[in-house]
Chain A
Amino acid sequence: QLQLQESGPGLVKPSETLSLTCTVSGGYINTFIYYWGWIRQPPGKGLQWIGSACYSGNTYYNPSLKSRVTISLDTSKNQFSLKLSSVTAADTAVYFCARVPSGYDPNWFDPWGQGTLVTVSS
């Protein structure tokens, strides 16, 4: 059974870079079949897709975040990561990682990690 677990600092200072890692167990990320994605949810608000990446090297990002986001895969550790630069308080959210089973036109997410809260504050 595939499981995903987010990890990283819970507190990031404004203007710095948010870095999170998603560790995958029960399966491997070095496959062309799936994408691997990040989604976030500000406190009390809805879901926002951040981006998705595949072992093939293809990546897709939310246009509103594209200039600040990088998603990369580390197959040696079976992990994928999120980097979001120049953060502000508006980036405070619970960040989820998820598998994107639809390898063509990647669009749905299953399963999800439990999520990790990242607060941007000095």
Chain B
Amino acid sequence: QSALTQPASVSGSPGQSITISCTGTSSDIGTYNYVSWYQQYPGKAPKLMIYDVSNRPSGVSNRFSGSKSANTASLTISGLQSEDEGDYYCSSYTSSSTVVFGGGTKLTVL
């Protein structure tokens, strides 16, 4: 299974909105509404931010939102804050009953 494709890095200024894309295939993102997003700070464990494409776990800010179109999912962070800086990973369920992650995106808050 091939990793999902994410941009290596994105950046934005405080208060702005940014979007991170996650591109898969018809065997994963294109077929299933099982896309999740994780935030990871250096040396820490990933934290679930979005599951099932657009659902936010309790406690996650509503500044984080997810969507999907065809084979591409997106994570949007609005009202960017310095604490949002970190690495973001997408993942998807696949037609082989497996899970595949994206390569990760480093978000820099300018």
Contacts and interface: CB of A to CB of B under 8 A. Distances in A.
A46 B57 contact: no
Interface of A: 37, 39, 46-49, 52, 60-64, 96, 102, 105-115
B101 A96 contact: no
A115 B93 contact: no
Nearest to A101: B51
Interface of B: 1, 3, 32, 34, 36, 38, 44-48, 51-52, 57, 89, 91-93, 96-104
A15 B99 CA distance: 26
Nearest to B94: A107
Nearest to B28: A107
Contacts of B99: 37, 49, 52, 60, 106-107
